[in-house]
Amino acid sequence: MNESNSSGGLTEYINHHLTHNSVQLVGEGALGRFNLDSWLIALVLGLVFVAWFAFFARRATPGVPSKGQAFVELVMEFVDGQVKDTFHGNRSSVTPLALTIFMWVVFMNTMDLIPLDLPSFVVQTTAGHEAAHHSYLRLVPTADLMTPAALSVTVFFILIGHSLAAKGGFGFGKELLTAPFHAHGPLSIVLAPVNLGMNIIEWLVKPISLAMRLFGNMYGGELVFMLIAGLLSSWITFVPGVIANAAWGVFHILIILLQAFIFMILTVVYIAGARESH
């Protein structure tokens, strides 16, 4: 039986699992709070991805590949194929970026499949119920808005870098002032503020949409797991609870992979657009 029945009901149970292990760095609001659990788990998963792929890259053989090498090659060929279909320039830097985004987001999303009460059970077994009640650990970094936001802001600056590399500083600035309403003469001066405003909105929408799409889907999936665990928490409903969690988990695998793919492919699409003129 999980802690929802012994800690004050479903609301307290959900609030407990939605609380981060964090430190307040600046002020008192959420913007000045640093979520240690999201940062640490994302860092560890990123290092696992790098170590895993580097291991098989160093041990790659031209003959019959091992199962691990075959899987890595399959993933890399899949990602490179998607990049090739979307981006028609030099892929030497775009494909590694797309691969990193896809695998890292998949790893972070997959943490949602770990049993919700496992961290509390471990703490309760080793340190007692009171310690478990005051210990917080959210396992899914992408269900924390700060993680998708950090990824999206990074992509945003990468897009600016690609646009500057393709068009130069003058060309990029000119495009901000002249597109999408291309005009000549005095009318171009009148429309310059309108063009600049529309381009700023277009550029800002990209990272916001990337972050909110990933966060919304993963946060919603996490809440469903919490509701199932909280509502079906007694011994009488143990078997239905397991079945419901398993059914949602199988469906959630599709969401995990799909959201990682969407984040990756939109990043490549945005890079392709950044290198092209209006």
- Per-residue pLDDT, 100: 96
Helix axis angle for 238-275 and 94-110, nearest 10°, is 160
- Per-residue pLDDT, 50: 95
Helix extents (H) in the chain: 10-17, 36-58, 67-86, 94-110, 118-127, 129-133, 146-178, 186-231, 238-275
Asked whether 241 and 225 are in contact (CB, 8 A), the reply is: no
- Per-residue pLDDT, 239: 64
If pLDDT is split at 50, 70 and 90, which confidence band does 238 have?
A: low
**Backbone phi, then psi, for 24, in 5-degree steps?**
-90, 115
Asked whether 72 and 57 are in contact (CB, 8 A), the reply is: yes
User: Chain-centre distance of CA 51, in angstroms?
Assistant: 20
**Backbone phi, then psi, for 261, in 5-degree steps?**
-65, -45
- Per-residue pLDDT, 118: 82
- Per-residue pLDDT, 252: 85
Cα–Cα distance measured from residue 230 to residue 169, given in angstroms and rounded to the nearest whole number: 55
Tell me whether residue 230 is exposed, middle or buried, using C-beta atoms within 10 angstroms of its C-beta: 0 to 12, 13 to 18, 19 or more.
Answer: buried
If pLDDT is split at 50, 70 and 90, which confidence band does 3 have?
A: very low
Residue 160 above 80 pLDDT?
Answer: yes
Mean pLDDT of all residues belonging to the chain: 86
Cα–Cα distance measured from residue 128 to residue 122, given in angstroms and rounded to the nearest whole number: 9
> Which tokens hold the place of 85?
């279909």
* Annotation marks residue 213 as catalytic: yes
Contacts of 143 (CB under 8 A, 6+ apart): 112, 215, 218, 219, 221, 222
- Per-residue pLDDT, 162: 94
If pLDDT is split at 50, 70 and 90, which confidence band does 152 have?
A: very high
Asked whether 143 and 112 are in contact (CB, 8 A), the reply is: yes
- Per-residue pLDDT, 267: 96
Cα–Cα distance measured from residue 45 to residue 252, given in angstroms and rounded to the nearest whole number: 19
Active site residue: 33, 91, 93, 213, which one?
213
* Annotation marks residue 209 as catalytic: yes
Active site residue: 217, 233, 245, 275, which one?
217
Active site residue: 6, 15, 66, 209, which one?
209
Residue 6 above 50 pLDDT?
Answer: no
Interior CA angle at 208 toward 205 and 213, to 5°? 120
27 torsion bin: left (phi>0), alpha (psi -120 to 50), beta (else): left
CA distances from 165 to 151, 157, 159, 265, 269 (A): 21, 12, 10, 21, 17
pTM: 0.86
- Per-residue pLDDT, 212: 96
Residue 1 above 80 pLDDT?
Answer: no
* Annotation marks residue 90 as catalytic: no
Cα–Cα distance measured from residue 163 to residue 155, given in angstroms and rounded to the nearest whole number: 12
Q: Which residue has the higher pLDDT, 77 or 186?
A: 77
Cα–Cα distance measured from residue 260 to residue 267, given in angstroms and rounded to the nearest whole number: 11
Q: Which residue has the higher pLDDT, 70 or 31?
A: 70
